Amino acid sequence: MTTLADLGTRIVIVGSTGSGKSTLAGQLASQLDLPHIELDGLFWGPNWTETSPEVFIPKVEAALAGDRWVVDGNYSRVRHIVWPAAETIIWLDYSLPIIYWRLWKRTLRRTLGREQLWEAQNVERFWVQFVTKDSLFLWALKKHKERRILYPQVLGQPEHAHLQVLHFHHPSQTRDWLTHLTS
């Protein structure tokens, strides 16, 4: 059984778009009284403009300057900063049907509720998710298999040997773990 102390105070949550990274990160940050850092919030500017590496990398470095945080996101361009500083990686490695169902529910909630995302106050548009090259559903499909191949390789590298890795294959597994997480 994992204890709160086992997790450390620098936790990274990775997984597919729609897997629940931000939700889990928020829950853990609250339970552990740690700052929650959403890499999407640092990356996306107003009107969904991408932040250049020259701006994004220093933002991430500044956010990680403290020794206590929960980060969620999969940005390979800052992995060399985030992962070495972490103590625990939680990988939400769910099947595509689960991811698509969760992404569908999230898209409906965000678009119908006109939910403003991050400091940039971006709002998702329903049609973008289904009929454009910027669809999160297409992105999830494209990246799902790639990450299942890449993450074991990257996590197996010597520079990541210090990391405790929790690899969850189903939301019920994650929920059970979270429920039984003890102080």
CATH number for the domain harbouring residue 68: 3.40.50.300
**Predicted pLDDT of residue 114:** 66
Residue ranges of alpha helices (H) inside 64-170 are: 79-85, 96-112, 128-131, 136-155
**pLDDT beneath 70: ranges in the chain:** 1-3, 48, 110-137, 182-183
pLDDT of residue 100: 83
Count of domains forming the chain: 1
| Global confidence as pTM | 0.83
How many other C-beta atoms lie within 10 A of the C-beta of residue 128? 15
Q: What is the pLDDT of residue 1?
A: 56
Residue 31 falls within a domain, yes or no? yes
**What six digits make up the tokens of 125?**
């548009």
Asked whether residue 44 is domain-assigned, the answer is: yes
Residue 110's pLDDT is: 66
The reported pLDDT for the residue numbered 169 is 95
**Within a domain: 34:** yes
Would residue 105 count as lying in a domain? Answer: no
C-alpha span between 81 and 88 (Å, rounded): 14
d(CA 177, CA 158): 27
Alpha carbon 68 to its chain centroid, in Å, reads 17
